[in-house]
Amino acid sequence: MHHIRKTDVVVGIDGSETSTAAALWAAGEAARRGVRLVLLYAYVLYAYGSRDSALPGSVPYEEAEIDADELLATAADAVRREFPALTIETLQEHEPAATALLEITGMAALTVIASQAKHQALETLLGSAAVYTAEQSKGPVVVLRGDASSVPATGPVVLGADGSTASEAAIEFAFQAAKTRGVPLVAVHTWDSSPVQGFRRTFHLGVDHDQVDSEQLAELTSVLAEHAERHSGVAVEPTVRRGHPQRVLLDVAKEQVASLLVVGAKGVGHSNEQALGSTSRALLAHADVPVAVVPHLDNA
């Protein structure tokens, strides 16, 4: 994958309507950024006569080249009809989609994945591949489920922020996403009173909820200040709400008619969560808007 540039937006496709829709969403993102779009089709080969032992989603050698060329050409044509001025490249990789996409995340600016598969039997497989890629990624990943790819880019960007160091990359990504769209950024921090876990600290039962709301809002505003100064054209609305992060973020995204929901790779509100985190996993499974998962990298 030596042809991938650090500025590229890459989208995984499989010939399905959902992946074509994801390609169009990714094309819009590439157009806003003024960068190249790369359509990636990854597949595993097998020889005729060995279908029973072949991996799901694999294709026979004799059909692979023709099918891949046609699939990529069809997707590229669909994108060109909507974005005639966009630079488009196509890429084929002979390896499982999850493997190829994960490698891409460390090379491109953004990797886009539709969580639905071409065939109903593969729905769970590719949904898992999307979660796996987001969980292990070395760069920002956007996952689109259902009709999320058709969500217009005119709504605000909603950010889940917990104040941890790991959320810094997600905050910066969200500001940039809001700036390229020309929309406000709604930064949301949540805390739950049972037990009461707040912005980088845990509260005891019997706490003054209104006072905590005020303190948490002040801390959130402080965390956002440096980013807001760098992105002075972005209108920022810091918000503190009580409740479970998953439910709150889904509610806010719906209320705001969000164009994008951004979270860090370790989830929101629970510093002891591992890898992707239960909140981010739940958002990938249930959000009706595109979800961007942004990892914190020590060398970033």
One-character DSSP codes across 242-261: ES-HHHHHHHHHHHHT-SEE
pLDDT recorded at residue 115:
82
Q: Do strands 291-294 and 141-144 pair parallel, antiparallel, or not at all (unpaired)? A: antiparallel
Give pLDDT, residue 300.
45
Nearest-CA neighbor of 200 among 187, 212, 186, 185? 212
CB 167 within 8 A of CB 293: no
pLDDT of residue 272: 39
Give, in order, the Cα–Cα distances in Å from 147 to each of 53, 115, 217: 34, 11, 33
pLDDT of residue 106: 92
Res 181: pLDDT: 97
Give the CATH number of domain 157-294; options: 3.40.50.620, 1.10.3720.10, 3.40.50.11260, 2.60.40.1260: 3.40.50.620
Q: Which residues of the chain have pLDDT under 70?
A: 1-2, 45-66, 116-128, 165-166, 193-207, 266-277, 298-300
Write down the pLDDT at residue 136: 87
* pLDDT tens, position by position, 17-29: 888 999 999 999 9
CB 30 within 8 A of CB 45: no
CATH 3.40.50.620 residue ranges in the chain? 9-147, 157-294
Taking a C-beta distance cutoff of 8 angstroms, is the pair 217, 238 a contact? yes
Residue 172 confidence (pLDDT): 95
Strand 196-197 and strand 185-193: the pairing is antiparallel
d(Cα 159, Cα 91) in Å, to the nearest integer? 32
Domain 9-147 in CATH 3.40.50.920? The answer is no
pTM to 2 decimal places: 0.84
292 closest CA partner among 98, 107, 101, 134: 134
pLDDT for the residue numbered 46 = 53
